[in-house]
A and B are shown apart, each in its own frame.
Chain A
């Protein structure tokens, strides 16, 4: 018997490499879900891990850190919040400013 595949649809699932039941301490949404402002999970709404090993949705922790009252401290342990991978912070922070440059004139 010969089977001819005419069409196939691949479906994939993904999740962040984080404990299953954990939620972001700021928005209380699961890490695999989005922050309270985004619609779609994934690269558009990434997580940020601090040097103190506390992680949050990047948008959530940025909302907090830009408040003067946060004194740039981690909401969990009150140590100065520094991203563990400095690249991630830089990329996230620069994204909005870079976007206009990349559009063709």
Chain B
């Protein structure tokens, strides 16, 4: 199996050491993992907050990108960002079919998301957030995002 051997390796490495601000919360199986990320610099939008990410892997990972969304629960909110919808869906080329590469991994995705938040100064939702959240029935990987905005 492609995914299981590679995920096993990633898990062993991540149980050893992870970059600052990234925590492995749950990896009981090879389909869904939970990780927490924090933004460690002084960005006032995210200071003191911990955000929870849910990774979903297909059997073809890492040839196929993992599905990665922010999770909302009692203790975790969805971070403000012009590319993160209220339902936790993230618009990032790295996670899209067109931008994914099999040399990425769970850790590098977390680091990319950390840096996506760190560099953001706009406490906003994407344009059309309300409609998207209400009507979207597609899984994140099936949505054809248009990556028009490289500024944030």
Which A residues have a C-beta under 8 Å from some C-beta of B?
Answer: 25-29, 36-37, 60, 63-64, 67, 69, 71, 75-76, 78
14 contacts between A and B (CB under 8 A): A25-B103, A26-B62, A26-B102, A26-B103, A28-B9, A29-B5, A36-B1, A63-B2, A63-B63, A67-B63, A67-B64, A69-B97, A69-B100, A76-B103
* Main SS at interface, chain A: loop
- 5 nearest interchain CB pairs? A25-B103, A69-B97, A75-B101, A36-B5, A26-B102
Return chain A residues, CB-CB under 8 Å to B62.
26
Closest-by-CB residue of B relative to A63 is: B63
Which B residues have a C-beta under 8 Å from some C-beta of A?
Answer: 1-2, 5-6, 9-10, 62-64, 97-98, 100-103, 105
**Is the CB–CB distance between B6 and A27 below 8 Å?**
yes
Distance in Å: Cβ of A34 to nearest Cβ of chain B? 10
Whether A28 touches B6, Cβ cut-off 8 Å, given contacts A36-B1, A69-B100, A75-B101, is yes
Distance in Å: Cβ of A74 to nearest Cβ of chain B? 9
Return chain B residues, CB-CB under 8 Å to A27.
2, 5-6
